[in-house]
Structure 1
Amino acid sequence: MMKTNWLLGAALSATALTFVASPAAAATKFEFWYGLSGDLSERVQEMCSRFNASQADYEIVCVSQENYENNLQNTIAAFRANKQPTVTQISDGGVVDLMLSGAFVPVRELMEKNGYQIDWSNYFSGISSYFSTSKGELLAMPFNSSTAMFYYNTDALKAVGFEGAPQTWEQVEKIARDLKAAGYECPIAFDPTGTWQWFEQFSAVHNQPIASNGNGYGGLDAVVEFNKGKFVDQLGWFKKMTDEGLMVHKSKAAGETANDAFTAGKCQMSSSSVADHGSFAKQAKEGVHWDVTVLPVWEGTERHNSLVGGAALWTLKGKTEEEYKGAAAFYNFIALPAEAQHWSTITGYIPVTNSGFEAMKAAGFYDAAPYKGRELAIQSLTATPPGEYTRGIRLGNFGAVRQEVAKAMQSVIFDGTDPQKALDDAAARSNEILRKFEQTYKGQQLP
């Protein structure tokens, strides 16, 4: 008998999930590794506890690997040692690595084999396409999806005469100058290692290529092109702004992250994931009033859709059928609208289905002060239909490429390297990384 998640395509139920007591020893235990830490890790642990309490057949053991890159590398190492978890959370940057590994069970196959019917067309196309084959087959379960947003202190902006939300980089620069003149020491918190929001998302909303072959979707022989477009000038702008004290270095290496500096009221503008919206609401210092908007673009630029961030859940080969039944039950659980709404509420991650978003909107979720603004993430992701340079980035070992871009950004900011030279050098090293990856999978094609 097929088990249909009828609620997935329906409006959110006002009735809370009914939980039963978890047994002392679950019939089947399986592991889920994830790459989140801090407040978001605590939210994952709560989700795992809710799943365990909701049924008596399976016990999921959820283990944080601290960050996405650690989880990817640890997952690969564990699989080679035949000690892999049943489920692993892999971010957008690790999609190609998993696709070509042959180490996973496609999510559609998993769910159908275990008797679940899911309306896969209900998932936002920009999200599902990131984790799908070129033919549209979804390989992993969409889980925590986000995009980059721009955060600002409403009181500070009003103090210098700016009303509303900044929409262009020209406005951001003027506001920053006015804030500096008014005595604010840190107009913009800037992390020069934050390539996702400052580089990748900038490129997408300005429709700029990061690599040939449609950002790698067309094949493993892609070469990077981030040294040929608008990002060269943008990196020069970052340098000018930091030299003038309008953008201030904030990172773990500097002793205080950009998010911490913003929520403490020390910095008045910053960029981060919409997933941090919930954390900001909890962590903002008393008296710090803030809001969020879409990423700025340069005047005269047609805004394009931003990229999906976050991760999906991949099911790894080599586990027992009972463990796979547990994984399928867990995927079905997190797809329940009541659970999806809870997850979105306590984090800031966007709902991954059309029906989930529409139901939350109809229920007035985005009208409430703690959550107002999160709907702009959907607006950002759907500003235009995903195009050649805005559907995503499909490059092998992309984490290493990101590190090369981060090194270039830091070289310009801290060492005064010419932006064009820094990016040319980063491009050369990145292409070496891509060629090694291509050689590793010689003869293979992206699915």
Structure 2
Amino acid sequence: MTSDCIVVTGLGAMTPLGLGENEIVLALEEGRCAVKHRRMDDCLDVWFGRVPEAVYDRADVLFSHLPDDEQEVARNDEGLLFGLAAAEDAIEQAGLAGAGLASHRVGMVVSSSKGLLRNMLGANRLFLEHGPAGDPEGLMARLFHNFTGEILGRHVARRHGFTGPVLNYPSACATGLTSIIGAVNLLRDGIVDAAVVGSSESSGNAVTLAAFCNMGALSPELCRPFHAKRGGFNPGEGAAVLVLEREEDARRRGAAILGRIRGLDFRSDAYHMTAVETEGRAVQTAVRETLRRAGWEASDVEYVNAHGTGTQLNDATEAHVLEIMFGSSGPLVSSLKGHIGHLLGASASVETVVCMMALARGIVPETLNLDEPDPAFRMNFVRGGVLRQKVNRFMKFSLGFGGHIGVLAVEMEGS
């Protein structure tokens, strides 16, 4: 067991609000909503948060490590491009590629909750059209073998020659936080000296969206987290990646420290395939354990970035937990989903990274569309514009389908 102090030395994000810190923070300051009404796969109309098209300008460089016969598959599902672009930015900011670390001491935990689903759908379409023996060029096989979630980490490792472990933590909407927690454990156990960690999701396909639509989870209008008249979430796509290291290692190589992972916990509420347990007992346990590991009191938390999907049950449960754990005069609270939509498996990593980018510039994100908070929710919401205030300590909540629960405590550098 080595040092418990794990620091963040690199951040990268591809989001509907923009690509990289400057674009994202400016969009938050201007109160932009990146969710638009769109037709998906020529058959389904939904409100959806799309990553700006400028990300595709990076494809040739990011896929340059691949031979020609692999590039077609690599470009088939955008989730791979989003994840590679975010990882490249985080690795560059951390100076990881030129840090002189042994290649086998750099690990990958860049996950996806659903894998690169367009690749599986493409393989299935070829099978239905041509049968099991109708794939002379091997495209069906290549699509199938590039479906699973750890393919993101495999490509980052392959591009940079990192030969440490490549892991995937698919945990529905909590995928980003469980990936961060898994990477922290790799570092604390001394298995790696640096970890490239995060998640990516490209959910803009009719199969995924129709499932949520038939579940009754999608809002017919722009989502309104914690609103009295909230009616569901808006889906979206994106990716975010962090570089994590032990503090003494980062300082030894002169890396800039952006923040510290002070506490963490993940649980399951063992309740239902999609619905959250309304008392939030397992969420309360995760918050208490996170505070204990951080060495914080509840009063030390200045801001909570909530899961805040805009669904009836999620928001009510989360508000209930926040009031029990922090009281009605507790920390500032907001959700980013009114800005970007619900990025599913990418949501927790994107929201963690976006919060770190904003808080580093003295900006606390608002909850868009919250003109009428649910009167049952007694919380200190940030609404009506960003709040310009220094925040040193914040928590990130994720409440995923199937009962996946993740909580993270982050201390910003300079605290």
TM-score, reference length from structure 2: 0.25
**More relative contact order, 1 or 2 (CA 8 Å, 6+ apart):** 1
The structure where strand makes up a greater share of residues is: 2
TM-score, reference length from structure 1: 0.24
Of the two, which has the highest radius of gyration?
A: 1
